[in-house]
Structure 1
Amino acid sequence: MAQQRLRKRPAHTEGHTSLCYSPDGSKLVTAGQNSTIRIFQTGSDAEPANIDNCQVDNYAVVATDKYAITGSEDGSVSMYSLDEKSLEGILLRCTLPVRDLALSPNGEWIAVASDDNTVKMVQIEDMTQVVRLDDQTKPAKHVSFSPSGDMLSISYTDGVILCYSLGSVGPVLHKKLPGLVKALETTDEPTTRAYWHPDGRAFAVATATRDIQVFSRGDWERQRSFKNGHAADITAMAWSPNGALLASVGLDRKLVLWNSKTQKILKTYDGIHDTILGLAWHPSENILSYTSSNGELYIHTDFVPDEHLASLKLAVQPSPFIHDPLSETSGNSRREPANGLKDPMDVEMDDDIDPLDAILGPEELSEHGDGFIVDDDGAGYAEEAINGFGKRTNGHLADFDTRLLKRRPQINSWQPKIHQAFQSGSTPWRGNRKYLCLNLIGFVWTVDNSEGGREDEDYHTVTVEFYDREFQRDFHFREDKYYDKACLTEHGTIFSCPPDAARNMPATIYYRPHEMWTMRTEWYVELPKGESVTAMSLSDSYIVVTTSTNYTRVYSLFGVPVRIYRQKSSPSVTCASWRDYIMTVGNGPVAANGRPQLLYTIQNVKRDDVCQNEDIVALQDGEELKSVFFSDNGDPCIYDTSGTLLVLLHWRTPGQAQWVPLLDTRQLTRLADGKKDEIYWPVAVADNKFHCIILKGTEYPYFPRPLLTDFDFQIPVTASPVEPSKSLKEKSVEELEETFVRESIKSALLEDLVGSTKATSSQRQMLIRQETAVDAVLMYLLNVECQMGEERGMKCLEIVSLLRDRSGTMLDKAQAIAERKNMDVLAEKIRKLAESRMIGLVDDDD
């Protein structure tokens, strides 16, 4: 076992002392309360080099490979040359003391936190380029950049953390996070800094309870936490370069080494005599350095013990999420595809031709190579050229165009981007909870109560709540199978869990009926080994399950397997059901845009009758399917990422089905002024309305339980938004035309239902009323057109020919309207049309 060595080096006078490594790791730079900057060479016991006659009382230092930049008590931000050991210039002057600095990952910008309530960003090469961030009225204590440099987090003395998105248009306040950290003064020793994980998807903060809490970027939810490591406030933290380990130190003078994945303490270093205020990992070696409030520097070589050293040698590890969105197998998350690519999003057919390929021919490309390094002489440069992300660095390219780093592999680079499977009504994990189902009956949600990964004592809690509590009672239970999908109806709830190889547990389906006239009987079905559930649906008659092996499994409500078959279109995407009908969707052949077409099949399980077989799901180019469900009348509906709701017309007749738009949410009147920025989460189509959840600033519903909203159908027949709720008398020609199309679609759907099923008398009466409603719209439209004069006569006659009333009553009224408007020619033609209909002869030429 390697002997751990702790070297204590005098660095500065007593007081706050800070440190940082240069990006290449060759130098360790410290600054303190005296007027000297010290430069220690990594691996050398020689005396450090000094930069003398600097500003005094330095509170922060950052470094590039060439420069060191300090922030001091007098408000100056100074840049020094590490080679010349001299002052290069003053980058910025603040009116009050500078408390913290952060260097952007590309080395171009410095973020400055001072006591004057304004955070400034200054460009190193051009100090006249200064950006001010003054959204808070309190001083900033800490600043830190995300590893990619696209976000800046600022910790203020009132306990608020602001996160700014750094795009081409400049910093934009992205998220305000109050109450994450304690309210502290800028001179207090405990830290409130947001420490970004090296993978850039989360940061850690020290909480008031002396624990370390991880927050995920994007949904800004609490993730894993590191607990019971310190008995006093934490003063500094540092992730290892690959994020696999975390070091923390507190006022209890304990230095703790944590495992990031399990949040377990690997080692605690006691006996530290000073208050440590700064930690810094060496970029590539097993060295942790730290500085104290007494001006001392500690260089801890072989810091990570041998038994844990393998963790330090891994590539960059993922942030400690409760549920990592990049690795979970939920149907609503991105999964690793089977074609060998890292992610289907990495390959796009829409990028056309790589710009580099258009400039360099095949010969030049082969000269530069395809990014593969062969260490044929054993010099070891193949290992040195690989960075912590498992990628080749650009050091070997010198001044060559860096676009070579971005070009695609030239061989076997393209794979079609398949549509990933999803469960309609389900949301991804956010923090430790997610919705398993959201519909008009109620909602199902689950909470992950585990703390340190999946262990025997870990469990989830599932809650099922109903909107109508007089009809059904809510229930809640604890389970250890980790259900990740669910469907809810008035009669029961179906759950499924993924397979768990670690516990030798197969994928399981669990059905729980709500009420029965006999004793309630719950049942389980385990799927074969290696098979997992990709989507489920539940109707009044059947349970439908699509799986990772492209099987469609149909069960009765009592667990009897009724059907099992393999889908022709694969991989499967989702499914839906209504009474005896089931609908499955899968990936089909690759279309002209380079993406697989989605194909759907609808069949009646009870009659074993296929209504539509492998027909195309009509999606707009570039859009994806977001939800699939049946309406309350049993018509298949889809909702895509463009915000369009479509219904399948004539779906009971093979070969006649058409996808018809019912609503384009981008044309809602509430969005006409352009002030609202919102999207809509589909829930159901019922009572001739689209029921959804309005989302602002997020893609998925979250807690507390969101309210449901409904919108009337609005057919996109005109460029301008229309108001469906207006009375017919108030509508313009465009609005009446939209109403005619909308009511005609409703009539067609109802006509299909009445003509293809054993319709009840109420359904037949409803059809008659619907056809009357269509005629009423046409009559109002005819009246408006007749007011515009004789030149509209041909259009008026066409409107009259669309009337559905066969008794002649509507035609008589139409003739009366024409006569009242003094359109005698039109009135005569309407009279002839009425006569031809009465004798059963329709002359299309008229």
Structure 2
Amino acid sequence: MASDAIRPRGRPAHTPGTTVLAYTPNGSHVITGGSNSAIRIYTVGQDGEPKTVDEGVDGHLAIGATNDSFIMGAEDGTVWQYEIVSGRMEKLLVRCALPVRDIAVSADGDWVAIASDELTVKIVNIDDMTNVKYLREQAKGTKHIAFDPSGRYIAVSCTDGILYVYSLLNEEPELVRKLDGIIRRLEPDDEATSRVVWHPDGTAFATAEATRDIAVYSTSEWKKEKVFSGGHNGNVTAISWSPNGALFATAGSDGQVLLWETKTQTILQKYSFANVINLAWHPTINSLSLTTSDGELFIYDGIVPGAHQPLLQKPLQAAPIFPGPLTDISGNAKQPLASRPKKSNERRAGTPDSLDDILGSDQGMEDFVEDDDGAGYAEGINALGKRTNQHLDEIDGHADKRIFTHYMKPKIHPPIQPGSTPWRGNRRYLCLNLTGCVWTVDQETHNTVTVEFYDRELYRDFHFTDPYLYDRACLNENGTLFSNNPTDGSPATIFYRPHETWTTRADWRTSLPKGEFIRALALSDSYIVAVTTKGYVRIYTLFGTPFKVYRQKSPAVTCAAWRDYVITIGNGPIASDGQTASLRYSVENVKRDEVCQNEDVLALPEGAELQSVFFSDAGDPYIYDTEGVLLVLQHWRIPGQARWVPLLDTRQLERLASGRKEETYWPVAVAQDKFHCIILKGGDKYPYFPRPLLSEFDFRIPISDTPEKESDEEGDRQSANDVARFEENFVRGRVMLSLFQDLLASTNATASQRAELARKELEVDKVLLQLLAVECREGEERGMKALELVHMMKDRNGKMVEAAVKIAERYGRGVLEDKIREMVERRYMGEGDDDELA
């Protein structure tokens, strides 16, 4: 097994003893520390002498790195942070009473975990060292520590042979597993390793056993799945996954460094290196660095031979915890058209007029076509014996065929399940809202579903094995709703599980007729709604009684529900270009059997698509489009009067004004007159794990852009800003007032609600007074607009109009004052309806 690369020379870096190393996440530097005080900073790709830092303490036993700094843990219990470029010692992060044994930096670079001979492990925020979390369940000192790549878990390997796994999703870490017997009992200074190394996809970890084998454990069942066996004749001293998880490197006291293929757990290459105690893969290139107890560093460029380099060049590979071939889980890989990865037992679905359906299986047809006359028509035959399109002159074929194809394949809006995300790797969110989240993990033969709540004092999280492969879910304060669309011919099912019951069992399941599948689900306090591929809207009570079934007038896209109300959205008629001209929505009161809005047009601009639909906590329908605009449906309870009003354009947020931030927003909910969302950085389109934090933004109707500097006078600019702010407050206040008025008109208003209505009307009038003050300050020539503002007041007792008179008097606007007094006489002295006079 000779390698294609030249064996590297050892680089004397430190005195004999423990020698640690770490790459920066961007791969630009590799840093080493050892038993002496020197720290070496090597620049990747350069063979010159490294930068040496001599101001450190003796006995460096642990190291971690970010792109800008590195962190060293020493035998004296100190943990120092250094700047990479200058090598300057920046600050002391932590001081432990006993020697530090290991350091781990979180994937986001915000936290560093410190393991020492103390019983407590500290997790320190790098930017704020006063922000510390503690892991306290250990009975012995810690030898190794490792963050899960997703940031969900952290694994602690103790010297007594017990592995502790904590969840980091909450503010305080929570012990989720205590695993005994899967790692070795070791002394703190033993060269053998009991380190847990997480697979890059986060679904598994590997650790060395006392038998000198390396076992792979899944995080779904916390059990051993695969074993790398028969490799080393001595203690295993270091293990490491390649960045894409396709390869695995191990080192042992037998003087061997082994390169394994993770898919088959077979050895690809053996290298002779004595006394290796640490391994680290370069994050992006074919290179492996290793340090020895002799204080040497080896940087082995091209360690993966040419015959096996395609393995290293693959995108992120799934952990080897399932039978069968590894699944490509790259976010950039081409995924099947289905809403989730295909299982091994799924057959390829052909179109109704496909050759597969007409001729049956094409197995054994590979040699059917032969180019026996040399015409070249068989050059484009692929491995399945089918012709490729290499013989075609144009991609779309002839002009007449293109036109026909466009009519036969109309482009329609795909179904949407609000709050869900597509598969990314083997995970996805089925539901994410203000109550909590539901997420699932693909385990090949089944899924595992986790339901988590924000309020853990009121609700308890739960987790279950999912053999039905649920692909949609809804969550609220009452229960959790699931559905699936099987591909094996079984009927689609709906499953509802309430959070609390006063009976022994209250969850229920129902099946749809065969051949009918679910496009979207909705759950309210009163009903369960499912829109299907047959065009049906199926409505059930919370305990499984079918309540109503009817067919939509347009193919279903999505739905949402709140109390007794349901909004359904479908594709409208096909336009002449073969695309859906518009989306159509309907709003219905299920209990009263009343249709509030019937097949009205959804307000989307050209080129935009619907991203989500939901009801607010006050019960008003909202949509969010791909242009980043949040809209509310005003007057939706009055047939024929509904219209979509924009309440927030996220592209006009101040945080994006500089142009330096690249971020988008994933809609979650509208509550307490605020837009709740998840901020997505860079080019991300969907939230991922660990569960991201929610952000909220105040409404701001897009009335105008930030005022330009039309004058050098600070007062003019301030006045323009005031006017813009007051105008937006006025328009928004009227919208929110109308929504509240419609609510009270359709219900039996309470005394507190009537008082709230009066307060909202008063707030709108106050904004008009503020605008009036600005106009009066500007001069007499603005008097006509000032009088117009007074006319718009809904003042019922005359106090606000009296205040308007005082404002005009204060600024010396005599003519305006007289006009306002005349209006008061007409309005309150019974000389006519002021609205008609206006």
Q: So what's the TM-score if we normalise by structure 1?
A: 0.57
Distance in 2, matches of 1:579 and 1:211, equals: 55
Residue equivalent to 1:645: 630
1:381 — aligned with what? 376
Residue deviations 1:577-634 (CA, integer Å, cap 9, x gap): 0000001111111357753111111101111111111111111211111110001111
Q: Which runs of 5+ in 1 are unaligned?
A: 1-14, 19-31, 33-56, 60-111, 119-134, 139-158, 163-177, 181-201, 214-224, 239-245, 276-292, 300-316, 343-373, 398-403, 723-727
Matching residue of 2:722: 732
Q: Is the 8 A contact 2:597 2:640 kept in 1?
A: yes
Does the Cα contact within 8 Å between 2:519 and 2:533 map onto a contact in 1?
A: yes
* Cα separation, 2, equivalents of 1:648 and 1:332: 36
Provide closer, same or farther for how the CA distance between residues 582 and 788 of structure 1 changes in structure 2, counting only shifts above 3 A: same
Maintained 8 Å contact 1:427/1:700: yes
Question: What is the aligned-residue RMSD (CA, Å)?
Answer: 5.3
**Cα distance 1:490–1:254, how it changes in 2: closer, same or farther (>3 A)?**
closer
Mark the CA change 1:473 to 1:376 in structure 2 (over 3 Å): closer, same or farther: closer
User: Distance in 2 between the 1:395 and 1:248 partners?
Assistant: 40
1:6-17 aligned within 5 A: none
Q: Given that residues 520 and 559 in structure 2 are in contact (C-alpha distance below 8 angstroms), is that contact kept between their aligned partners in structure 1?
A: yes
Residue pair 2:378, 2:387 contacting (<8 A) in 1 also: no
| Structure 1 partner of 2:642 | 657
Question: What is the correspondence of 1:493-642 to structure 2 with a 5 Å cutoff?
Answer: 493-501=480-488, 505-570=490-555, 572-591=556-575, 595-596=579-580, 597-642=582-627
Q: SS of the residue aligned with 1:645?
A: strand
Q: Secondary structure of 1:692's match?
A: strand
State TM-score, norm by structure 2. 0.58
Please point out which of 742, 746, 751 is paired with 2:741.
Answer: 751
Q: Give 1:787 shift.
A: 0.5
Q: Determine the structure 1 residue equivalent to 2:701.
A: 715
Counterpart in the other structure of 1:184? none
1:115 and 1:328, CA in 2 relative to 1: closer, same or farther beyond 3 A?
farther
Contact 1:426 1:437 in 2 (8 A): yes
* Alpha-carbon displacement from aligned partner over 1:418-472 (angstroms, at most 9, x marks no partner): 1111211112222232222111112222223x2xx32xxx442x22222222222
2:458 — aligned with what? Answer: 471
| 1:438 matched residue in structure 2 | 432
Amino acid at match of 1:818: A
Pick from 664, 685, 690: which aligns with 1:704? 690
Q: Distance in 1 between matches of 2:748 and 2:739?
A: 15
Is residue 211–residue 230 contact of structure 1 (8 Å, CA) maintained in 2?
no
Is 1:789 equivalent to 2:779 in the alignment?
A: yes
Report the AA paired with residue 694 of structure 2.
L
Contact 2:250 2:258 survives alignment (8 Å): yes
| Post-superposition CA distance 1:716-774 (Å, at most 9, x none) | 0011299xxxxx99960111000101111100101111112222222222111111100
Q: Provide the C-alpha distance between the structure 2 equivalents of 1:800 and 1:408, rounded to a whole number of angstroms.
A: 67
- Whether 2:807 is the aligned partner of 1:820: answer no
> CA shift at 1:479, angstroms?
2.6
- Aligned counterpart in structure 2 of residue 330 of structure 1, from 339, 364, 371: 339
CA distance, structure 1, for counterparts of residue 604 and residue 806 of structure 2:
45
SS in 1 for 2:570: strand
| Residue 565 of structure 1: how far off its partner (Å) | 1.6
Retained in 1: the 8 A contact 2:329–2:426? no
**CA distance 1:811–1:679, shift in 2 (3 Å):** same
Shift of 1:703: 1.9
Distance verdict in 2 for CA 1:824–1:750, change over 3 Å: same
Q: Within the alignment, does 1:842 sit opposite 2:827 as a pair? A: no
CA 1:423 to 1:730, structure 2 compared with 1: closer, same or farther past 3 Å? Answer: same
**Whole-angstrom distance in 2 between the partners of 1:640 and 1:273:** 55
Cα distance in 2 for partners of 1:605, 1:590 equals 29
Separation in structure 1 between the aligned mates of residue 69 and residue 803 of structure 2, nearest angstrom = 71
Output the CA distance in 1 between the equivalents of 2:592 and 2:389.
Answer: 64
* One-letter code aligned to 1:417: K
Instruction: Give SS of 1:481's match.
Output: coil
Question: Residues 146-165 of structure 1: matches in 2 within 5 Å?
Answer: none
Identical columns (%)? 49
Task: Provide the C-alpha distance between the structure 1 equivalents of 2:777 and 2:670, rounded to a whole number of angstroms.
Answer: 37
The 1:230–1:806 alpha-carbon spacing in structure 2 relative to 1, beyond 3 Å, is: farther
**Structure 2: where are the runs of 5+ without partners?**
9-43, 51-66, 71-103, 108-146, 150-200, 217-224, 273-301, 309-325, 343-347, 355-368, 709-717
Q: How does 1:128-167 map to 2 (within 5 A)?
A: none
**What residue identity is the alignment partner of 2:693?**
L
**Separation in structure 2 between the aligned mates of residue 614 and residue 117 of structure 1, nearest angstrom:** 73
Which residue of structure 2 lines up, in the alignment, with residue 772 of structure 1?
A: 762
Deviation, 1:560, is 0.3
- Deviation for aligned residue 1:518: 3.8
Q: 1:256 to 1:622 in 2, by over 3 A?
A: same
Sort the Cα spacing of 1:379 and 1:476 in 2 relative to 1 into closer, same or farther, 3 A.
same
Tell me the CA shift for residue 519 of structure 1: 3.8
8 Å CA contact 1:325–1:429 kept in 2: the answer is no
Structure 1 partner of 2:144:
none
Measured after TM superposition, the shift of residue 641 of structure 1 is: 1.1
CA distance in 2, matches of 1:492, 1:206: 34
Distance in 2 (CA, whole Å) between partners of 1:615 and 1:721 is 36
Letter of the 1:382 counterpart = Y
Q: CA deviation at 1:533?
A: 1.8
CA contact 1:322–1:432 (8 Å) conserved in 2: no
2:677 counterpart (692, 699, 724): 692
Residue 834 of structure 1 and its aligned partner are, at CA, apart by 1.7
Contact 1:669 1:721 in 2 (8 A): no
- C-alpha displacement at 1:642, in angstroms? 1.1
Q: 1:836 to 1:561 in 2, by over 3 A?
A: same
C-alpha spacing 1:273/1:639, structure 2 compared with 1 (3 Å): closer
Q: What CA distance in whole angstroms lies between the structure 1 residues aligned with 2:259 and 2:657? A: 58
TM-superposed deviation, 1:539:
0.3
CA contact (8 A) 2:259 2:270 kept: no
Report the AA paired with residue 678 of structure 1. Answer: E
Distance 1:563 1:269 in 2: 62
Distance in 1 (CA, whole Å) between partners of 2:750 and 2:382 is 71
Contact 1:229/1:256 (8 A) holds in 2: no
Amino acid at match of 1:702: Y
Q: 1:652 to 1:117 in 2, by over 3 A?
A: farther
Identify which of 412, 427, 440 aligns with 1:418. 412
Q: Residues 803 and 389 (structure 1 numbering): CA distance in 2 closer, same or farther, change over 3 Å? A: farther
* Paired amino acid for 2:826: S
Sort the Cα spacing of 1:208 and 1:651 in 2 relative to 1 into closer, same or farther, 3 A: same
Q: Distance in 2 between matches of 1:622 and 1:701?
A: 23
Instruction: Report the alpha carbon displacement of residue 550 of structure 1 after superposing the two structures with TM.
Output: 2.2
2:624–2:667 Cα contact (<8 Å) kept: yes
Q: Distance in 2 between matches of 1:490 and 1:136?
A: 44
Q: Is the 8 A contact 2:522 2:529 kept in 1?
A: yes
**In structure 2, what is the equivalent of residue 94 of structure 1?**
none
State the SS of the aligned residue for 1:430. Answer: coil
Q: Is contact 2:341-2:423 (8 Å) kept?
A: no
Q: Give the direction of change, closer, same or farther, for the CA distance of 1:581–1:247 in structure 2 (3 Å limit).
A: closer
1:247 deviation in Å? 12
Structure 1 residues 656 and 247, CA, compared in 2 at 3 Å: closer, same or farther?
A: same
Query: Could you say what secondary structure the match of 2:834 adopts?
Result: coil
Residue 435 of structure 1: SS of its match in structure 2?
A: strand
> Aligned runs of 1:99-114 on 2, under 5 Å?
none
